[in-house]
Structure 1
Amino acid sequence: MTIGILKEPKEESRVALLPEAVKTLLSWNAQVIIETDAGLSAFTDNDTYKAVGASIKSRAEVLAESDMICSIQPLSQEEISKMKPQAVLLGQMGALFNPELTKFLVQEKRTAFSMELVPRTTRAQSMDVLSSMATVIGYKSVLLAASSLPRFFPMFMTAAGSITPAKVLILGAGVAGLQAIATAKRLGASVFAFDVRQAAKEEVLSLGAKFVDVEGAKEDKAAGGYAVEQSAEFIQKQKDTIHEYAAKSDVIITTAQIPGRKAPLLVEERTVLAMKPGSVIVDLAASSGGNCALTQADQTVEINGVKIIGVGNIASELPQDASKMYGKNYINFLKLIIKDGEINLNFEDDIVKGTCVCHQGEAVNSRISEMLTQ
C-alpha cells in the first residue's frame, strides 16, 4: 500500500504527517510518498523525509500513485478525480459545512474520512484533531490578544506606580477555552470564564479563573462535550450577564461553537459599544459565523476603539507542534484502518463508521446522511 502526503495550500503552514509519523507508517510495511516541499512551511525539508525512508515526488504523481491520500485542507474536485478510483481520502474536509464537496464524493463513489467527524468518546480522544488544534488555538489566541492590547497583562509594581492586571473574559470553557484560561493566567491576567455547561465550572476554577454563573442552562450528555441550543429566555439572560462583564473587560476571547450549526451570538453590538477603547475581542468562532455580532471572518476591524479579530486558521501559525499533534492523531486513527500494510475498513467500529463521510457511493456517517437527504 502506498500512502501519499500532499503539500497544503499557501495559507496553510501545517503538514499532515511529519517524518516521525512517516517512520511509523513505514514500520507497518506501507510505502510513503511525499509531495515535493510538503513540509517546508513546517520547517521540515525533503531530505529529512528521505532520511526516514519516504520518497519525494510531484503532486501529480502523489495523486495518481497513492492508495491513500492524507491532507489537512480539503482537495478540489478536480484533484480528487485524479486519484485512483479505490483510493481512500483522509483529511479535515468540513464535510457538514461543505455539502457540494460531500455530494461530489458520494456521486463519484469515493471513500473519504473527515477527521473533524471523529466521535467525541473516551476511546477516540487520541484521534481527536479538533481537540488537539483547540489546544493550539486557545494558546495562540491569548498571545494574539496580548500583542494587540495597548497595556500589560500582568500586574506590575514599579517606581512609576502600580499597573493593575488586565481583565480577560473567556466565553466557552471547552479545550480551546481552558487553554486560553491557563495561558492568560500564566501571563498574569485576572481571568473570568463563562460556559453554559456546569460541568466546566470545576475545570475553570482549578485553573485559577472565576466562573461566571448564569442559571437555567440546558445540557445534553449526548452532545459530546459541546454546548447545545438554549431557550430564548436563557439566551437573553446570558447576553445580559456577558454584557455586564464585558464592559469591565480588557480582552474577550470567544470559543463557543455548536457542531454543524452557526456559532451562537454571545457578544452583541451594544456590548462592543459598551467596552473600553483599546479593548480587544478575539473571536475563535469567526469561521462559523462568529460569537460577536460585529466579527468579520479572517479580518481585524475596529469599532469605537475596540479591536475585533476574526480568527482564521490560527493553528497554522504554530506549524511545528501543530503538525506534530495532528500527525499523532492521524497515526492513532490509521491504526484502526490499516492491517498488515493494507487498508482494512471495519464499519462495525464506531470510530471508523463515525469518521467516514462516504464509502462506495453511500454516506456512512449518520449526520452526513441526514444532511444529504434535506
Structure 2
Amino acid sequence: MRIGIPDDGGPLVPATPATTARLVGLGYDVVVAAGAGSGAGFPDAAYQAAGAAVVPDAEAWSADVVAITRAPDALATPGPAGLRPGARGPDGLRIGAVLIAQIAPAARPDLVRALANRGVTALALDAVPRISRAQSLDVLSALSNVAGYRAVVEAAAEFGGMFSGQVTAAGTTPPANVFVIGAGVAGLAAIGAAGSLGAQVRAFDVRPEAAEQIESMGATVVRADDAAQQVSADGYASALTADQEAAALRAYAVEAAAADIVITTALVRGTAPTTITAEMVATMRPGSVIVDLAAPGGGNCELTVPGRRVVSDNGVVILGWTDLPDRMPRHTSELLGTAVANLVQLGTPGRDGRLVLDPEDVVVRGMTVAAGGEVLWPPPPVAVSAPTAPGGPGSVAAPDRTAPGSRHARPAAGGARPASPMVRNGLLALGGLLAVLAVAASPAEQAAHFTVLALAVVVGFYVISHVSHALHTPLMSQTNAISGIILVGGMLQIGSSDPVVTTLAVLASTVASINIFGGFLVTHRMLGMFRRGDAAEGSNR
C-alpha cells in the first residue's frame, strides 16, 4: 500500500524523515508532496534519503493512506461516477482511502458525514481513547505539552523584564512572578518552562491530587480548600459548583494582582470557564502578560479574543493565540509523525505494508469516526472492566487505566475478593499481640533491640511516606548510606560461631550489596540525562 503525505498548507507535517523511514521499514511505499516538510525544516532530500518518493501534491492526496495534520474544512460531494480525475487538494482523496488526521469529530459533524459519503475510512488522531495502551498515539497530550512550553516563550517575549533575578554591580532585580491556572499537561509544561528560566512559579488546580504534581515541578501550590473538588476518578476536572467557583475566583484575584505573568489552561470538556475577570485584569500591573491557552475554547480571560493580541486599558497584554503548537513546527511535527507511525505500526502486525484495522480493538474503534459509508462517531464507551473471566464465578478482568490520576482496584487473581477492613485490622492486631509476647519472653537486652527496631520502622514509615517526589533521588542516596552500615555490620557477624547468626549476616550483606550497587547504577543513569554529548547518549541507552 502507498502512504501519502500531502502539503496541507500549514507549517506542520505529519511525517518526518525519521518516521518516514519507520513507515518504509513496515513495507509501505511512502510518497511526500514536494515542499511538504519545508515549513518544519525538513527538505525534500531528507525524505528521499529515508526511502520516500517526492511527488506532486495531487499524487500524494490520491494514495491509499493519506496522513495530514488537520482535516480539511470541506469536501466536494462525489457524483455517481466518483470524483473527476485530477482533483486537487482534499477533493483528490480517492473513494475507499484511509485518512489519518486531527478531525475534531464532535465539533465537525458535517465533515464526518462528508467523509463517510466519500467512502473514506477516517481515523481521528484527536479521538484517541485515554487508556494506557494508547498513550503513544495521544496527540492531544503531546500538543498540550508544546503549547504549555510555547506559552512561556510568548510571555517572555512580551514581558518587559527577565524571568530570573539578576545580581549586578548596579544593583539587583527580583525574579518574575508567574501564576499558572490548571496543572494538566499544558500547565505542568508551563510550570517547568517558567521555573527553568528562573521565575518564581505559583500554580493552582481544583483537583487536590494535582498539588503533588505541582510541587514535583518545583512550584508553590496555591491553596483554596473551598474550591477543591473530590479526588477525580479519571484525572480530569469537572464543572465547579457556585460556591467552589466563587472561592476559586477569590484565589485567582489575589494571585493575579501579584503576578507578572498569568498562564491559564482551564478547560472542562472542551469549554473554557472564566478564571480571570476584567476586574482582575484591572488590578494587574501595567506590562503584565496573560497567556490564555484556553483561547480555542473561548478563553479563560474575559478580555481574550481568540487568535489576537489585546492590550487592556491599564496596559496588560492578553495573548489569545490558538496556534501555539504551530509556532514550534519542527518539534510538533516530530511528535505528530511519531504518533502517525505508531498508529500505522499498530495496524500492520505482519510488517507487510498492508494496513489492517481491527474494529474489535478498542483503540482503533475509538479513533475510527467514519468507515464503510457510515458515521461511527461517537464510539461506544471504553469498558474499564470485563465480564466474568474464566478464572471462576465472579472473577473479573483487571481494568485498564483510563487516564493519569485514575484509580481502579485490581481484583485478586482467580476471583478471590480482597480482605475486608475488619479482617485486615484483626490480622494486624494479632501480629501486634504476637510481637508483644515475643518481646516479653525475650531477655532484657534482646527486648531493647526489638524496641529500637519497632521505633525505627514507625519513624521510617512516616518519614518516607511524606517525602516529595522531587526528593526521591536524594533519599535514595541516604538509603545507600544506611545499606552501607548494614553491610559492614553483616560482614562483622559472618565469622560468628552461631550458624543462625552467620546465615542472617550473609543474607543481610547480600541484600545490602544489591541495594548499594543498584542505587549507584540508577543514580549514574539519572545523572547521565543531564550530560551533553556522547556521554549522555550512552547513559540513556
TM normalised by structure 1 equals 0.93
1:341 to 330, 353, 358: 353
1:27 paired with 2:25, answer yes
CA distance in 2 between counterparts of 1:88 and 1:320 reads 25
Equivalences for 1:272-287 in 2 at 5 Å?
Answer: 272-287=281-296
The alpha carbon displacement at 1:105 in A equals 2.1
The alpha carbon displacement at 1:275 in A equals 0.8
CA distance in 2 between counterparts of 1:203 and 1:118 reads 24
The alpha carbon displacement at 1:220 in A equals 7.0
Q: How far does the alpha carbon of each residue in 1:238-269 deviate from its partner, in whole angstroms, 9 at most, with x for none?
A: 1121011101100001112233x321211111
1:74 to 68, 71, 74: 71
1:57 to 55, 58, 63: 55
2:142 to 132, 138, 146: 132
Q: Look up the match of 1:310.
A: 320
- 1:290 partner letter: G
Q: Look up the match of 1:3.
A: 3
Report runs of 4+ in structure 1 exceeding 6 Å deviation: none
Conserved 8 A contact 2:209-2:231:
no
CA distance in 2 between counterparts of 1:58 and 1:238 reads 54
Q: Look up the match of 1:207.
A: 217
CA distance in 1 between counterparts of 2:96 and 2:348 reads 15
1:114 paired with 2:114, answer no
CA distance in 1 between counterparts of 2:133 and 2:380 reads 22
- 1:58 partner letter: P
SS at match of 1:346: coil
SS at match of 2:369: strand
The alpha carbon displacement at 1:208 in A equals 1.2
Q: Look up the match of 2:297.
A: 288
- 1:291 partner letter: N
1:218 paired with 2:215, answer no
Equivalences for 1:214-363 in 2 at 5 Å?
Answer: 214-215=224-225, 216-219=227-230, 221=232, 223=234, 225-259=235-269, 261-303=270-312, 304-339=314-349, 340-363=352-375
Q: Look up the match of 2:427.
A: none
Conserved 8 A contact 1:127-1:332:
yes
1:99 paired with 2:109, answer yes
Q: How far does the alpha carbon of each residue in 1:292-317 deviate from its partner, in whole angstroms, 9 at most, with x for none?
A: 11101111010020000002211122
Q: How far does the alpha carbon of each residue in 1:116-172 deviate from its partner, in whole angstroms, 9 at most, with x for none?
A: 111122211111111111221111111110111112211112222221111100111
Structure of greater relative contact order (alpha carbons < 8 Å, 6+ residues apart): 1
CA distance in 1 between counterparts of 2:258 and 2:163 reads 15
TM normalised by structure 2 equals 0.65
Conserved 8 A contact 2:344-2:355:
no
Sort the Cα spacing of 1:219 and 1:336 in 2 relative to 1 into closer, same or farther, 3 A: farther
Q: Rg larger in 1 or in 2?
A: 2
Conserved 8 A contact 1:272-1:306:
yes
Conserved 8 A contact 2:96-2:118:
no
Conserved 8 A contact 1:95-1:368:
no
- 2:178 partner letter: V
Name whichever structure is richer in helix by fraction.
2
Sort the Cα spacing of 1:219 and 1:62 in 2 relative to 1 into closer, same or farther, 3 A: farther
SS at match of 2:268: coil
Which deviates further from its counterpart, 91-100 or 142-151? 91-100
Q: CA RMSD in A?
A: 1.8
- 1:147 partner letter: A
Q: Which runs of 5+ in 2 are unaligned?
A: 77-88, 382-541
Name whichever structure is richer in strand by fraction.
1
CA distance in 2 between counterparts of 1:258 and 1:85 reads 37
Q: How far does the alpha carbon of each residue in 1:170-211 deviate from its partner, in whole angstroms, 9 at most, with x for none?
A: 111111111110111111111011111112110100111111
Equivalences for 1:174-189 in 2 at 5 Å?
Answer: 174-189=184-199
Q: Look up the match of 1:141.
A: 151
SS at match of 1:71: strand
Which deviates further from its counterpart, 287-296 or 319-328? 319-328
CA distance in 1 between counterparts of 2:379 and 2:365 reads 11
CA distance in 1 between counterparts of 2:70 and 2:375 reads 20
Conserved 8 A contact 1:105-1:112:
yes
The alpha carbon displacement at 1:287 in A equals 1.1
CA distance in 2 between counterparts of 1:269 and 1:21 reads 46
The alpha carbon displacement at 1:227 in A equals 2.0
Conserved 8 A contact 1:357-1:368:
no
CA distance in 2 between counterparts of 1:220 and 1:338 reads 39
Conserved 8 A contact 1:247-1:276:
yes
The alpha carbon displacement at 1:367 in A equals 5.9
SS at match of 2:180: strand
CA distance in 2 between counterparts of 1:292 and 1:106 reads 38
Conserved 8 A contact 2:207-2:232:
no
Conserved 8 A contact 1:220-1:228:
no
CA distance in 1 between counterparts of 2:261 and 2:206 reads 20
Sort the Cα spacing of 1:351 and 1:294 in 2 relative to 1 into closer, same or farther, 3 A: same
Which deviates further from its counterpart, 73-82 or 340-349? 73-82
The alpha carbon displacement at 1:368 in A equals 9.5
The alpha carbon displacement at 1:362 in A equals 2.7
The alpha carbon displacement at 1:100 in A equals 2.4
SS at match of 1:44: coil
Q: How far does the alpha carbon of each residue in 1:197-241 deviate from its partner, in whole angstroms, 9 at most, with x for none?
A: 112110100111111122243357454x33222212211211121
Q: Look up the match of 1:168.
A: 178
SS at match of 1:290: coil
